[in-house]
Amino acid sequence: MELNGPMEDVIIVGTGCAGLTAAIYAARANLSPLVLEGREPGGQLTTTTLVENFPGFPDGIDGPQLIMNMHQQAEKFGARFRYAEVEDFEPGKSYHRLKVDGEWLETRSVIIASGASAKWLGLANEKELKGHGLTSCATCDGAFYRNVPVCVVGGGDTACEEAVFLTKFASQVYLVHRRDSFRASAILAERALKHPKITPIWDTVVAEYIPDERGEMRAVRLENLVTKEERILEVKCVFIAIGHTPNTVAFQKALPTDKAGYLVKKHGSLTEIPGVFAAGDVVDPHYRQAVTAAGQGCMAAMDAERYLTGCCGEGTHSD
């Protein structure tokens, strides 16, 4: 095992809302955190449009802009950033090791804020069709599908939000949901249902992607779960919005997770291992909001600082 570089005080894994807020707080505590930007720098907010529920922005703020602001804020106070994916994690008694790009980094504390990644349906042709009419990011790919019909799969906030966003480009947006009511919050569900370009298709799943001869999405085969009827829906792009899986693969050997793969906390932001903290979507299957992730990032940085200074036992309030 090769060790390069100095012992860090705190390494923050992830640059979504949780990781960047942790970076701001840790940097302001003079810990000069090293922040690792993984495969999806900026996290889920970089794939969203207008964020209307982050306090302090009465007119909303674009997700990527909000992330950029947080990044700048963290850098201003001395956070250091590095593009690197965590490949392995070895906790220790007084310090921990993280393997990135084949190199082991050592640190007294770790804040895991690696977020969550989009789930897929797991149908045939999925891999080949990604980027050819199959995507999980309306913000990234919506503009490619002007004046053609598209469909969104899912019934949560993301699906409703993406469907409304896609009406700017597509001729028609079908919202395919496996039940007969949305999981989405009332305001987003209503916005989708009231939109003249959006057609909900209830109780229905996508059973097959149908590509054209060039390997681009041409249509989907839909199956109604109640009537068992099948139909072909001609769409040029399928936007999958069925939730996310927490990014915990590198940590699962060392840290307990729940059935869905979320890290489990002991108390506060502390995991089972002293000096290892977790924040945001990687540990939170319930709230999963930008503002709750930011709050948890703040908590994790404060807990890490307390741990490093020997205050408050393992680094959290005795709650």
Six token digits for residue 246: 């927490």
Residue 183 found at the interface with ligand NAP (CB under 6 A): yes
What span, in angstroms and rounded, lies between the C-alpha atoms of 187 and 43?
Answer: 24
> Is 101 one of the annotated active-site residues of the chain?
no
Among the listed residues 97, 178, 218, 221, the single contact to ligand NAP using CB under 6 A:
178
Q: What share of the chain is helix, strand, coil (3-state, %, to 5)?
A: 25, 30, 45
Residue 158 found at the interface with ligand NAP (CB under 6 A): yes
Per-residue HEC secondary structure of 22-42 comes to HHHHHHHCCCCCEEEECCCCC
Look up residue 275 and give its DSSP letter. T
Q: Which amino acid is at 285?
A: P
Residue 70 found at the interface with ligand NAP (CB under 6 A): no
Residue 159 found at the interface with ligand NAP (CB under 6 A): yes
Among the listed residues 82, 168, 179, 267, the single contact to ligand NAP using CB under 6 A:
179
Q: Which amino acid is at 46?
A: T
> Is 140 one of the annotated active-site residues of the chain?
yes
Q: Which of 62, 88, 137, 312 is catalytic?
A: 137
Six token digits for residue 165: 């966003």
Q: How many CB atoms lie within 10 A of CB 242?
A: 18
> Is 160 one of the annotated active-site residues of the chain?
no
Q: Which of 17, 62, 101, 141 is catalytic?
A: 141
> In this complex, which beta carbon is closest to ligand NAP, that of residue 291 or of residue 312?
291
> In this complex, which beta carbon is closest to ligand NAP, that of residue 67 or of residue 304?
67
Using CB under 6 A as the criterion, which residues of the chain lie in contact with ligand NAP when the complex forms? 53, 121, 153-159, 161, 178-179, 183, 205, 241-243, 288
- Return the active site residues: 137, 140-141
